Every structure is written in C-alpha cells, then in structure tokens.
Amino acid sequence: MSSFSKALRFPARHGAFKLRAAARTTLALQPQRRNLSIHEYLSMGVLQQYGVKVPRGAVAKSAEEAEKIAHDLGSEDIVVKAQVLAGGRGKGHFDSGLKGGVRVVYSYVFERNFAAAMSGPTEVKMFADKMLGHKLITKQTGAAGRICNAVYVVERLYVRREYYFAIIMDRATQGPVIIASSQGGMDIETVAAETPEAIVTHSIDINKGLQTEDARRVAEKLGFTGKAVDEAVDIFNKLYKIFIEKDSTMIEINPLAEIHTEDGGSTVMCMDAKFGFDDNADFRQKDIFALRDKTQEDPREVAAAKWNLNYIGLDGNIGCLVNGAGLAMATMDIIKLHGGDPANFLDVGGGAQADQVTEAFKIISSDPRVSAILVNIFGGIMRCDIIAQGIITAVNQLGLNLPLVVRLQGTEVDAAKKLIRESGLRMFSIDDLDEAAQKAVKMSKIVGMAREAGVQVKFELPI
C-alpha cells in the first residue's frame, strides 16, 4: 500500500509509521514511483474526451497568448494556474517574486461592443509573465523549485459545494479503491489527520468494475442530493472507465464541485484534476505517454531511464551504485548508520553491461553535492567483472577525482579484482560492507570539510 493510501485509510497508524521510518534513509519515506504524471490541462483534456464536465479554458505558453485566451473566454472572473507537476501550487511562490501559483483575476468586464476587454486580460498577462519561464517553489519541489513553461487560463465558476474524489491502486486489496470526502478543495492528508470520519472509501472488485449501486452509495455518503446524485454517479463511472482504459495509477479530482448555473440550478463538475499512469503500460498507451513533460523531471532520472537504470536523487553526498533494490536500501541504511547521507538510490539491475555502469557513474558524478562514491555489488546474475570494466571506463572517461570505495562479492569477483588491479587505478577495494561504508563516510567528510574551507581537494586515482 502506498504511503498516500496509508495516510488516508489509517491516519493514526500512519503517523507512527512516519516516526519509525524517520530513522531510516530518506528513500524509505519517498519510495520510487512507477507512474507518469501529466499536467492539469492535459488531464482536463482527457476528462473532456470521456464526456466529463470541466470549466472552459485553454493553455498558454506566452503572456500574450494568455491575454488572448482571457479575452476569448469573456468570463467575469478568470483563474490563471501555473502548470507545474507539484502539489501546493496555490501556497507556493515564484523566483520572480510572485506569490501563489494559482491566481484569480476578479471583476473582468467584457464589453461586447468593443474590440477588447476592460482590465482583465492585462492583469492575466501580468500574472502569466511572472509565472512563465520562472521556477515555482512549493513544499513538494524543495528549494530548487520547478520550471513553469505553461499556464492554464480558465473561467472562474461559482461553487455551491466542494468534494474530494480519487481512485488509486490499493496493495492491500490488490485492486482499485475510491477515496472521497465531503471536504474538498483542501489537502486530503489534512482531512484524514484532523477529521478522519469525513473520509469515504470503497474497494472495487476489478473483475466486476464499479457497480452503479456502489457509486450511488458513495455519492449519497458524500452528501449529494436530488439530481446531483445521478450526475455524480455518472462522473464516478466515467472516471473509473478512464482509470481502467488508460492504465492509471491515480485519478484525483480536487475539488469535484456543485456549480451554480445561470438558470438558478446547479451541476456537478470537475474543477481540477491530477492523473498518474503506470510506466509499464507505455507500450499500449502511446497517446498518453506522448504527453510526458521531461522538463518537470529530474534530468538525472530521465538519463537513467534512457539506460534502463533505476535512479532516484536524494539530498545526501555519498553516491551509491548497487545491484538490487534490497541491497541498495541496506547500503543506504548502513551509510546512515555510520553518520553519512546517501546522495541517490541507483540500482543497475541484474543484467547491466559495462556501458550502463559507465553511464551510472556519469549520472552520480553529475551531482555537485557528491563527495564520495560507494559501489556495492553482489554478483549473482550480475557479473562483478562487468561492473569492474564499467568502473574503469568511467574513471578514465570522466577523469574522476572523487574518493571511490568498491565492494565486490560473488560471480567473477576474482576476475573483477584482477581487472582493477591491472588497470593502474587506485581506489579503496574493501570486501566487508560495514568497513566499506565507514570508509566512504570518512572520505566524504574529508572532501566536505575541504569544500567548506574553500580548499580544492583532488583524489588522484591513477598511480
């Protein structure tokens, strides 16, 4: 079960889980995700393809384009949303000085007798100019922020009531689960922690699909009444259809809202959407994966994926190259045990070739915070001599001058040690993992102290 679903289904236990996990490596709190996320405006486009009601709007990639969209919408009020793949956009800030990644332009007066709108488009253009090309910093992006290359300009509608609705994959039930709440428009984690009774969950038998009576029961528990119940049920069924047909891992609508209509009635509409899709389905979801925005991803993770390497960047300074996820976790834990901090999770897998190992070193060494590298390989399917050849090639190509600690055990380990010995390269070759981790931490601290003092330290690997 994901930490997301744990927070929602077991809020009290999740708090204890996080306290226990704090003693472990950062990766334990941020497991590798196997999904593609797409921008809000693209998610809204998918919703429209399935007949789900959404506000009118369009995406702009320049301030002038945003101004034109605002004019064409002709709505009294306009919302300008930064298209950045991170939560907490509304509470974030840009490096341009602008506060908030979601801004409302009020009292936008559109005069049909004139060729232009009064005031509104100019303000939309101003906000777009301060968003586009700038980095948005939120609680999820960290201090580095994330670049904003597009803004979503939409009409502002008048909401009668807001709800939260999501479908995710649940490991506990091995199938989809609906997570919903009558308290929409806010962080669902906060709702789960403060008012867990407001959370409605319903597990779906993936072999039967979402049944109409179950969808109706969820709608009624949320508080929908009258014809709004039928509209909500229709939307739930369409969202589930998207979830299954598009190989989704998550569909999140926040808020799902009852909107005031011009005739004095109301209608149910999806006001915001966040979609995730299973990376394993890219071969049959070509249209969805064509929507991927690599500018929103860590370039090192993009490079790693190109070479079929499993990489996640962390905040430490000891680069790790390991084969096998379990061994990688153990390696990072032992680094933490001895007072160090891993800079990454990097699993080369069981069938890596020398060129992949070389690329792995390039990715690790591209992180300016890395001050030492620990290689920990247990050769089963993976041969140690291939790792050794990759290490040698990487050191020669990159002119690597960081301290390098290598621990090799298993298949062809003697051949690997012979290659390293005959290469003429000096590195710390240590058989014991505990000792290897201690050495990596010590070397990292030496380099770190030198950097803090403004002293350039080079570890000359060639003898």
252 is catalytic: yes
Neighbours of 307 (CB within 10 A): 18
Select which of 41, 152, 164, 311 is catalytic: 164
CA dist., res. 308 & res. 236, Å (int): 36
- For the record, the structure tokens of 149 come out as 């290359």
> With contact defined as beta carbons under 8 Å apart, do 94 and 75 qualify?
no
CA dist., res. 129 & res. 269, Å (int): 29
Count CB-CB contacts under 10 A for residue 324: 20
What six digits make up the tokens of 382? 């993976």
Q: Which of 40, 123, 252, 412 is catalytic?
A: 252
CA distance 359 to 228: 55
Cβ atoms 115, 263 nearer than 8 A: no
DSSP 455: -
Q: Are 78 and 102 in contact (CB under 8 A)?
A: no
- Is residue 316 within 8 Å of 369, Cβ to Cβ? yes
Would you call 159 helix, strand, or coil by DSSP?
Answer: strand
Catalytic residue check, 164: yes
Could you give the residue numbers annotated as active site?
Answer: 164, 252
